[in-house]
Each structure stands twice: as structure tokens, then as C-alpha cells.
Amino acid sequence: MRSKLFPLVLLTLATFAQPAWTAETAERSAPEGGVLSLLPAPQVTTHSITLAGRKLDYQAKAGTLSLLSAKGDVSAEIFYVAYTQQPGQPAKDRPITFVFNGGPGAASAYLHLGAIGPRIVQTSADGEFLPPPQKLIDNPDSWLDMSDLVFVDPVGTGYSRESPGHEGKEFWGVDADASSVGAFIRLYLAQNGRTGSPLFLAGESYGGFRAALLARTLQEDVGLSPSGIVLISPALEFMLVRPDQFDQLHWALELPSLAAAKLRNDGVSGDALREKLADIEHYALGDYLSALNSGLEQGGKLASGRVAEITGLPLDLVQRNFARVPIGLFAKEFQRAKGKVLSPYDATVGGADIEPESARDTGPDPVLDRSVPALTSAFVAYARDELNYHTDVSYRLLSGDVGHNWDYGTQGQGYAGVMNDLQRARALNPSLGVVIVNGYTDLVTPYLGSRYLVNQIPTLAGAKPIRLDVLEGGHMMYLRPDGRRALKDAASELYQATQ
């Protein structure tokens, strides 16, 4: 979440036929007032998909739920798409998972059409988007056979909007966001008779931050106890995401991810990648961090040679930066000879450098910025053509307005963070399962940061241990077919515990 990082968010062997759907009459009228009048009443359609060799019939519902202010008027409409197995085990016994992306300011289309939903955008084997127009295919790794799914767009994202007389800023902050999303979860469960169902949360990037916070607030403020949470490339403590110039720890936590980018560029993968990175992780938190703490110039003298070797950057460049390698510098310089810049969201993906003479990357991010038109157009078409949801409201995949106006608040140390909230949630519910999944070549939320934070919290008597997984790929490792499969495998442990 550096300057370009306000949003924190498939090749197949056969082409699947587009599933047939049927519309049913919605039981709720359309919202009213201002732009909300352009949002239709909820739409219900029926579909089917084959997962693990078994045909699964399901119902999709696209619509909004109204949030009420303290005065009793409607303050916002939150858009969602819900998928429910039809038929299946009794609804009260089926797990239900609420899914959201991060940003702040991101709609849920990333996880919806990229990883977890029954329909996904087809990408290459390396997780890159194909030329437009985007093609939707059935998702062989959808989580729908493990859980009913509800994809949620917080206020100001997707089709979700504040009501006339209210401002988006009422919802754009750490506590306000948790409160509004928590209220949505309570309302959805109550209105659909699912309050007794096993409850799960899945969030990416800031969505992982939100999920960890909700794991506590849902228990303390709403009276709901999640069974498990899946945190995908999470931003858990902002002291590691937005450090100040005198903090040396973040350099050490980022170094293995830079190394992973070089190793993948060299063709190293699998067990060989993990083995080489294990040595670099040990160096990063040992001799490297010790060298940096010895002082700016002294640290540069001690560590520059090894850092240049690990990152593949020229020695003189590393020396000029005192063995400290900013993410932007690495992204700009690693493939300069090829006229490319790397994406911090996946440092194996490069794009054309539009200003090679500049010391800074000024062009579009080859992962994040390419995702916006791809997923926006794909979701709008999907909502209209397959979910029967017709609206002239613009779909906000990534809202700069939300991200730039977000209130992070302050905590004791001055940074927003949720590790204490996560610990409190686990103490309240010792059976709470927690899975954290990172990508090796994600430079936005480096994988060693998650491991470091988990290792810094005490073991809680009787609580389930936190599971940590690192997959090949970047921030959105699930855009790769193998990463999407591995993500589901990691999450499946939580759902098996409820069977």
C-alpha cells in the first residue's frame, strides 16, 4: 500500500457452455432515492456446475440490503451476490462464507470472478488476463461445494452506494467499515434464516484486515461467532506496510520476496525455490537486519554485496541505496535492460516501461491496472447476462475516492493493526480456524511479514493453531489455475472441521 497501492485484491483445457438461468420474482422492492433508484430489486436465477465430478445445482441472488442509520433512515444500500446450493443439506447445517476484497476501495469481483465463485474470468497459465473481450468459464475450483457464498461490496464499491443525505465518509474508516459490513452480515443471516449456519469469512489484502477485525467484532458487538477465516495476502499490521524511514524491519521482511522474483526469473520453482528462500529468510532476519541496525552507511558496507547477489540488481545501485532496496526501485530496475517494469502485485509479471529515462515508474501497473477494465467489464456483463441484474449505475471495481479518504484511525503505537483483534477473537472462540495464504512474489504484502507477525503472538491455550501457506504467484496468486487450486486446498481444512 505504497503510493500506487491503495487497492489491496485461467487457462482451461476445455470451454464450458454458459449455464442456463431462470429469473424469479424478487420479494423485495427496488431501492429509492437518488442514484439508488437505478438499482433494481434483487434478482434470483438458477444454475448448475460440475465440481469434482459431481453436478451441483445452485441458486444465485444479486441485490442490495438496506443499512439503517441511528435515526432509523436508510443510510446505504450494500450490493451482494449470494450463491446457495439447491438442493443440499438443510440450510442451517451448510457453511456460509462472506467474501470481500480490500483496497480499501475494492469491490469483491477479484475473489468473485478470479478465485471463489462458480464463474471466473479465463486467464493464462501465468495468471495474466487475455485480450478483450473477457471470457467467463465455469470455475473447477469454486468453493461452492464447501460452502454457500455471499460476495459483498462495501459502501462506495461495486454497486453499493450511500443514500441521499448521507456521505460515503460515514462508512470509510477502520471502525465504520467493520460496523457496516458486520451489520450487513447480521441482516443477511437473519433475513435468510441462516443465523445458525457455520459462519466463515474470506478476505484479501485489506479484506484480510477486515476479516480479522470482524472475527472479534462479530462476537463482541453482534453476537455471531465465526467458525473460520481465510486471510489472502493480508495487510495485518500497517507498521509493516507503511513504515517510517527509521524502521529497518520491513527491509528484512521484503528481501525474500525480492529474492523469489529473481529465482522465478531464473526458472527456479517448487521445492528448490522453497529451499533457497529458507536460507535467504534466515539471512534477512539475522545478519541482514543486524547490519541495517548498525547504521545507514555501516549497514550498506556490510550487506550490499549479499543483497546485490540475492536481488540480481547491480552492486553499485545497491551500494548507493545502502543495501536497502525500495520496492519501486526493484520493480523499475530489475528488467530495465529489457525495457520492462515489474508489478509489485506479482514481481514475475512485467510491462513496458513508458519512460525508461525516468528514475521512477510512471506507467500503468501490469497487474493491477490491467485488472480494472478486465474485471469491470466482465462483472457488468455477468450481472446483466447471467444474473439478470440490469442497472445503469456504474460498477466501481476500485474506488480512489474511498481509498484516498479512508480513516485509518490511531492505535497505541500510531498504526492500524489487527493482530490483537485476531488474538482476542481466538480467545473468545478457541475453535476458530485461521488460514493465512500469501504469494512468494507479492511485494505489496510480503509473505515473510505474515509469518513474522504470527511468530510474535503467544500460543493460546486450547486455541487452534494458525495455518500459514505460501504459494507460487503474487498478491492475486489465484489468477493462476494452479494457485487457485492450491488456495482452495488450503481453505478446505477449515470447512472439513464443520462436517
Residue closest to 45 by CA, chosen among 384, 375, 381: 384
Give the integer Cα–Cα distance in Å for 31 and 66: 8
- Summarised one tens digit per residue, pLDDT across range 430-451 is 999 999 999 999 999 999 999 9
C-alpha cell at 71: 435515526
Give the integer Cα–Cα distance in Å for 420 and 237: 10
Predicted pLDDT at 243: 75
159 within 8 A of 62, measured Cβ to Cβ: no
Predicted pLDDT at 79: 97
Q: What is the mean pLDDT of residues 393-400?
A: 96
Predicted pLDDT at 361: 77
pLDDT exceeds 80 at position 181: yes
Predicted pLDDT at 228: 97
Predicted pLDDT at 269: 94
Reported as a pLDDT band with limits 50, 70 and 90, residue 112 is very high
- Using alpha carbons, list the distances in angstroms from residue 4 to 119, 239, 337, 362, 438: 29, 18, 23, 10, 20
- Using alpha carbons, list the distances in angstroms from residue 422 to 95, 209, 220: 21, 9, 12
454 within 8 A of 268, measured Cβ to Cβ: no
Predicted pLDDT at 413: 54
**What is the phi/psi pair of residue 32, to 5°?**
-130, 155
Give the integer Cα–Cα distance in Å for 42 and 240: 41
**What is the phi/psi pair of residue 54, to 5°?**
-120, 130
Q: Could you tell me the end-to-end alpha-carbon distance of the chain, in angstroms, rounded to an integer?
A: 38
Classify each residue of 182-201 as buried b or exposed e, where b means 16 or more C-beta atoms within 10 Å of its C-beta.
Answer: bbbbbebbeebebeebbbbb
Reported as a pLDDT band with limits 50, 70 and 90, residue 31 is low
Predicted pLDDT at 15: 30
Residue closest to 249 by CA, chosen among 5, 29, 96, 448: 448
pLDDT exceeds 90 at position 34: no
148 within 8 A of 94, measured Cβ to Cβ: yes
Reported as a pLDDT band with limits 50, 70 and 90, residue 472 is very high
pLDDT exceeds 60 at position 127: yes
Q: What is the mean pLDDT of residues 269-285?
A: 97
Q: What is the mean pLDDT of residues 452-478?
A: 96
Residue 120 pairs in a beta bridge with 137
Reported as a pLDDT band with limits 50, 70 and 90, residue 72 is confident
Give the integer Cα–Cα distance in Å for 45 and 83: 10
**What is the phi/psi pair of residue 65, to 5°?**
-115, 145
Predicted pLDDT at 91: 79
Listed in sequence order, the residues at least 6 apart from 184 whose beta carbon sits closer than 8 Å to its beta carbon are 65, 67, 78, 80, 152
Predicted pLDDT at 26: 36
- Summarised one tens digit per residue, pLDDT across range 242-261 is 777 789 999 999 999 999 99
69 within 8 A of 166, measured Cβ to Cβ: yes
C-alpha cell at 423: 488474538
- Summarised one tens digit per residue, pLDDT across range 131-142 is 999 999 999 999
Q: With pLDDT > 90 as the criterion, what percentage of the chain qualifies?
A: 80
Q: What is the mean pLDDT of the chain?
A: 91
Name the burial class of residue 488, with classes exposed (0-12), middle (13-18) and buried (19+) by CB atoms within 10 angstroms of its CB. Answer: buried
Predicted pLDDT at 360: 78
Predicted pLDDT at 134: 95
Reported as a pLDDT band with limits 50, 70 and 90, residue 33 is low
- Summarised one tens digit per residue, pLDDT across range 336-388 is 999 999 999 999 999 998 888 887 777 899 999 999 999 999 999 999 999 99
Q: With pLDDT > 70 as the criterion, what percentage of the chain qualifies?
A: 91
Q: What is the mean pLDDT of residues 153-174?
A: 93
Predicted pLDDT at 36: 82
DSSP state of 436: E
Predicted pLDDT at 414: 60
More confident residue, 243 or 145: 145
Q: Which amino acid is at 144?
A: L
Q: Which domains does the chain have, with CATH numbers?
A: 34-239+371-496 (3.40.50.1820), 243-361 (no CATH)
Q: What is the mean pLDDT of residues 14-27?
A: 33
Residue closest to 122 by CA, chosen among 133, 111, 131, 134: 134
- Using alpha carbons, list the distances in angstroms from residue 273 to 128, 264, 276, 279, 468: 22, 8, 5, 10, 17
| Residue 417, helix vs strand vs coil | strand
Q: What is the mean pLDDT of residues 481-486?
A: 96
pLDDT exceeds 70 at position 418: yes
- Using alpha carbons, list the distances in angstroms from residue 287 to 94, 299, 449, 495: 50, 10, 17, 41
pLDDT exceeds 60 at position 13: no
90 within 8 A of 111, measured Cβ to Cβ: no
Cα of 462 vs its chain's centroid, Å: 29
